[in-house]
Chain A
């Protein structure tokens, strides 16, 4: 049966990257459609009329948006390489850490990235508090998913993929190894996984782009 899997994406989106990782881990063939977010295509507006954002997965003509919802759909549709564990409680915990990533970790790291002075110090306090929870969760585990990467790893993976870029731009360490040895080790292990490594966006191009975003933000403040 011919299956059509399309992913509306951008090369630099950490949310789209989550979906790319999931599809590749499962060995699902898909077409990538690069979107220009400053000039959204009719296709994107048709497939995601509510949010008008990427990533959007289109499976046999049916669109799904929101990266974590897509991840779950991918896991339920293609059963090889399960991303979520079997038991309901462990599944709920994986979802919890994924939500924590977007609710708390992401805004706190973005906060440090765009703030300065005293506001940045306060943002660091937020990050440390959030990282402490992740450090605790990683005790006795190589990945959040256990021995192999799973749903929570893919959700939190942007930390491993992107924090070094942010650190390079602001010239300050955000995740210090002495303070968070387990999170640091996880970050290094995660990007070494072949499928993760081969999907990383080009480093210099990413640095340039994100530096530009930061300058725009600081200029507008």
Chain B
């Protein structure tokens, strides 16, 4: 059988690249990691993702794929061990729907609170409202995937880290233990899973990196 080549083009501070790393690690897939020196995009990245020109990009036996959630579904289909999505079509649809909701309704609101100068509290309130809705998908289970981590857990999980960073830098509350007990409990469990924890970048480095980002986005001097 021909040797398999799996490459991941990523960026250390990207939560979207982290999602893909988590998926690969959960499946026990060996891969070569290529760090992009953002904002300078390499010719390789531009060749592999001419449409969006973004990381993460997974290259499997020379064939490139972009968009983190699509990549994770691909990984789930290409490597059958430790399934990330359930078998039942209705449950699969629900997992995809919630992941889409998170990317389209929670992430922009969190980013909005992070990038705002003056309106961060209002935007954070909206973000909290939408994040709270995710608890419906937990329904008394330890993970979104049930007894073990699944697709939706790795789609949403990074908010546990980046959410706290935004809270600290922008001075807002996003994940409130009192009003979101299920989400808080889930995050605490999720981030302690060894395979998950091992991939998380250094808190201090992420904080410093995002402080710089925040300055640029808000045009502030401090």
**Is B89 in contact with A77, judged by CB distance below 8 angstroms?**
yes
User: Quick check: B65 and A69 within 8 Å, CB to CB?
Assistant: no
Interface string of A50-79 (1 = CB under 8 A from B): 110000000100101110011011001100
Instruction: Report the contact-size class of chain B (Cβ under 8 Å from the partner).
Output: 20 to 34
Q: Are B100 and A66 in contact (CB under 8 A)?
A: yes
Interface stretch, picked from A1-9, A94-102, A110-118, A169-177, is A94-102
Give, as a whole number of angstroms, the nearest-CB distance from B34 to chain A.
Answer: 19
- Of the listed stretches B6-14, B67-75, B113-121, chain A binds B67-75
Stretch at the interface among B18-26, B91-99, B142-150, B193-201: B91-99
A155 to chain B, nearest CB (A): 13
Chain B residues with Cβ under 8 A from A92's Cβ? 65, 70-71, 73-74, 77
Asked whether any CB of chain B lies closer than 8 Å to the CB of A194, the reply is no
B90 contacts which chain A residues (CB < 8 A)?
59, 62, 64, 73
Which residues in chain A, 83-99, are within 8 Å of chain B measured between CB atoms? 88-89, 91-93, 95-96, 99
Is A95's CB under 8 angstroms from B73's CB? yes
| B133 contacts chain A at the CB level, 8 A cutoff | yes
On B, residues with C-beta under 8 Å from A are: 50-51, 60, 63, 65-67, 70-71, 73-74, 77-78, 89-90, 92-94, 96-97, 100-101, 133
Q: List 14 A-B contacts (CB under 8 A).
A: A51-B101, A66-B96, A69-B96, A69-B97, A70-B93, A72-B92, A72-B93, A72-B96, A73-B90, A89-B60, A92-B71, A92-B77, A96-B51, A104-B51
The 3 A-B residue pairs with the shortest CB-CB distance, nearest first, are A88-B77, A76-B89, A92-B74
